[in-house]
């Protein structure tokens, strides 16, 4: 009589499988709650304790870790192994059905303590899966309830061949690999390790969606994420068109930018470059200010809002074509308006995720890793280095411009102003190989709005030409990192123009 060991946390489909196995003449062994469920369903099942002669220990922490069970699973299909089992009175096990405690789901609970999280780390189940998967030439292992029907059908027909058992073993090893990777990531975070340079970097990602194509139609594309995480950690609520590879890159850039701000804020991104950033007392006002920053570039871009999108915000868009909107939530009225007026506009709700500790980027032959830039470190000390200090209003605008500048591609220049309703960019120059060219582009975008604006630079000015170009256009206050060998010339240029100049001592390159 063939024997099956069943030990599962996810019990969906289990009773049907167990009934089918019983009908085929299989003997069932089960642990803890699994045995109780099968017994309640009227099935004849032996408990693990009845087979091993040992009770569960430590409130269920030790159930299946026993040589009788593991010997029955690990015995190979050869006479000497079966003879050794017989000498110990052990009957072989031919099928292991097992899935694990929901560790990845548990750690998403708010305020979960370390002690509570540790109780969700499965030990016995992992051992069962690995033992059965190691011995797949004789033992079948099933870790996914979605496989129950096809495995049972194969057993019924006698067609559970070596190739099928091998595929099931591969799936079991992938299951334990991903499980251990999740525990590893969590414990690094629990230890409050900002970034640990380890000898090995393990990624455990699942396919979320196959994309229409990559950056261009002749390239294939796909989106992968940790288990249970949707598109950019969110959910697609509307839009008749699938999110594209480029949409996702732009939305990621926009969301990274908008989450730097505490006030209601809006960020518009086109081809990875912000073209409008604004903060105000209300999100719809912030969006209007962001759109006014560069309305031409905003066409066909994506928008990120750090507040719930309501009908007023949708009305602010007017007839502007946009590819996608990301926000923490959307009112029912806003979703209705977007659905009726903008059928192809993708609507992405961004759900809360634990703050990322590191970010990864692929390069030829490998991956780069770094801690996430969350803005100035706590010990950053800004210094006014010009003769004239910024006014209170200029200083507030400089703080906004400095934060906005962090999301612009280097060389990054942002011109911004204090508005009656808040703060907004009026000209952005980024992604250029010359800093003075970035200044000139930002001035060109701003036009007359450059007069009286403030300017932020993500790094130091290597020459005074950037300062000269800005002050000649009417910029009255500037913030940059400082640290150039020509800082004295840069400061002198600001002083000659009567502009205020602040050095932060912190750089925010974004390549």
- Could you tell me if residue 430 is inside a domain? yes
CATH of the domain at 183: 3.40.50.1380
User: What is the per-residue pLDDT for 229?
Assistant: 81
Q: Could you give the CA distance from residue 168 to residue 137 in angstroms, rounded to a whole number?
A: 11
List the CATH number of the domain containing 480: 3.40.140.20
- Please indicate, yes or no, whether residues 18 and 97 belong to a single structural domain of this protein: yes
The pLDDT value recorded for residue 305 is 97
Query: What is the gyration radius of the CA atoms in the chain, in angstroms?
Result: 30
Low-confidence ranges of the chain (pLDDT < 50): 191-194
What was the pLDDT predicted at 194? 46
Backbone angles phi and psi of 322, in degrees to 5: -130, 150
Dihedral angle sign, alpha carbons of residues 350, 351, 357, 358: negative
Give me the residues paired with residue 84 across strands. none
314 with 443, same domain? no
> How high is the pLDDT of residue 193?
42
pLDDT at residue 344 in the model: 87
Q: Where are the beta strands (DSSP E) in 87-129?
A: 95-98
Q: What is the pTM of this model?
A: 0.75
Say whether both 175 and 258 belong to one domain.
Answer: no
pLDDT of 203 reads 74
Task: With H, G, I as helix, E, B as strand and everything else as coil, classify residue 499.
Answer: coil
Residues 323 and 463 in one domain: no
Phi, psi of 183 (to 5 degrees): -65, -45
Q: In this structure, are 235 and 318 located in the same domain?
A: yes
133 shares its domain with 50: yes
Domain of 453 in residue numbering reads as: 383-503
* Residue 103 domain flag: yes
Same domain, 122 and 174: yes
Per-residue model confidence (pLDDT) at position 181:
82
Task: Select from 366, 362, 361 the least CA-distant residue to 200.
Answer: 366
| Interatomic CA distance for residues 252 and 262, integer angstroms | 18
- Which domain-ending residue is among 325, 350, 375? 350
| pLDDT value for 60 | 67
How far is it, in rounded angstroms, from Cα 402 to Cα 56? 60
| Whether the Cβ atoms of residue 370 and residue 195 lie closer than 8 Å to each other | yes
Q: Answer with the one of 143, 172, 190 that is the final residue of a domain.
A: 190
Residues 169 and 252 in one domain: no
Q: How many domains does the chain have?
A: 3
For residues 175 and 262, state if they share a domain.
Answer: no
276 SS3 class: strand
Q: Note the pLDDT of residue 191.
A: 45
Which stretch of DSSP H or E encloses residue 126?
helix 124-134
Q: Give me the active site residues, please.
A: 134, 271
Q: Where are the alpha helices (DSSP H) in 363-460?
A: 392-405, 435-446
Residues 34 and 179 in one domain: yes
Residue 360 counted as domain residue: no
């Amino acid at each position: 009589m063939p024997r099956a060991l069943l030990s599962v946390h996810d019990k969906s489909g289990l009773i049907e499988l167990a009934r089918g196995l019983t009908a085929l003449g299989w003997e069932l062994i089960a642990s803890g709650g699994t045995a109780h469920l099968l017994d309640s369903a009227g099935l004849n099942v032996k408990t693990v304790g009845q087979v091993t002669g040992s009770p569960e220990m430590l409130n269920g922490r030790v159930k299946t870790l026993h040589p009788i069970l593991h010997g029955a699973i690990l015995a190979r299909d050869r006479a000497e192994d079966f003879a050794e089992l017989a000498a110990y009175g052990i009957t072989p096990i031919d099928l292991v059905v097992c899935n694990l405690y929901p560790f990845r789901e548990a750690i998403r609970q708010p305020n979960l303590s370390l002690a509570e999280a540790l109780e969700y780390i499965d030990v016995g189940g992992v051992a069962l899966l690995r033992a059965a998967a190691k011995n797949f030439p004789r033992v079948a292992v099933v870790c996914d309830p979605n496989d129950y029907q096809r495995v049972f059908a194969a057993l019924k027909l006698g067609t559970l061949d070596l190739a099928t058992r091998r595929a099931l073993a591969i799936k079991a090893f992938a299951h334990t690999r991903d499980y251990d990777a999740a525990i590893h990531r969590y414990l690094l975070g629990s230890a409050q390790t900002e970034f640990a340079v380890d000898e090995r970097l393990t990624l455990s990602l699942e396919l979320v969606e196959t994309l229409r194509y990559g950056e261009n139609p002749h390239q294939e594309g796909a989106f992968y994420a940790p288990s249970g995480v949707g598109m950019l950690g969110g959910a697609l609520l509307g839009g008749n068109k699938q999110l594209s590879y480029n949409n996702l890159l732009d939305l990621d850039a926009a969301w990274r930018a908008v989450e730097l701000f505490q006030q209601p804020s809006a960020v518009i991104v086109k081809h990875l470059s912000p073209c409008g950033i604004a903060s105000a007392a209300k999100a719809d006002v912030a969006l209007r200010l962001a759109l006014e920053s560069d309305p031409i570039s905003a066409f066909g871009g994506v928008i990120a809002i750090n507040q719930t999108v309501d009908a007023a915000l949708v009305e602010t868009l007017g007839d502007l074509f946009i590819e996608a909107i990301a926000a923490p939530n959307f009112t029912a009225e806003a979703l209705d308006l977007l659905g009726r007026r903008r059928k192809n506009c993708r609507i992405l709700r961004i759900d809360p995720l634990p703050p990322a500790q590191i970010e990864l980027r692929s390069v030829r032959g490998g991956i780069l890793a770094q801690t996430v830039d969350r803005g100035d470190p706590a010990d950053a000390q800004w210094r006014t280095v010009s003769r004239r200090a910024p006014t209170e209003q200029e200083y507030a605008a400089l703080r906004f411009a400095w934060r906005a500048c962090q999301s612009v591609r280097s060389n990054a220049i942002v011109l911004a102003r204090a508005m009656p309703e808040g703060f907004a960019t009026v000209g952005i120059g980024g992604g250029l190989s010359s800093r003075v060219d970035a200044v000139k582009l930002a001035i060109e975008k701003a036009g007359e709005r450059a007069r009286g604006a403030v300017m932020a630079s993500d790094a130091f000015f290597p020459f005074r030409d950037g300062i000269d170009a800005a002050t000649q256009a009417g910029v009255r206050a500037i913030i940059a990192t400082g640290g150039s060998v020509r800082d004295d010339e840069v400061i002198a240029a600001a002083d000659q123009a009567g502009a205020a100049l602040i050095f932060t001592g912190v750089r925010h390159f974004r390549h």
